[in-house]
Amino acid sequence: MDKEPIVLCGASTYEQKFYFNPEFSGLPKQIQDELKVVCVIFTSQISSVFTLEFDEEGNLDFVVRPNDDFAFDDIGSALKIKELQREKRELWEELELYYKVFFLGMKIEEIEG
């Protein structure tokens, strides 16, 4: 049985809110702020609910839920995600490493080996 993904953070155009999972409060404030900026800007450009979620293996997924919004841009959404993945690749890799070590209990040797 697949485990539910763990939401790191997210934002909603519809509710104009940002959510940060308190389980990740150990992340430096600068990283938390950067995640907030990424999520809020994404939803301001692409009308949707946008979340960053860890799957059961510790991979970070970019999840977009348009909520049947006529303003939702499916192509723009995919392009924006690719841009984020490319521009902030190091941040995403570090977050995955953090999750795998502190939440999944993996050893760095297991991850890098």
Does the pLDDT value for residue 1 go beyond 60?
no
Are the CB atoms for 48 and 65 separated by under 8 Å? yes
Which pLDDT value is given to residue 113?
A: 62
1: which residues sit within 8 A by CB, 6+ positions away? none
pLDDT tens, position by position, 42-83: 998 888 999 999 999 999 999 999 877 677 778 889 999 999
105 three-class SS: coil
Mean pLDDT along residues 6-35: 96
Element (H, E) at 61: strand 60-65
Which pLDDT value is given to residue 74?
A: 84
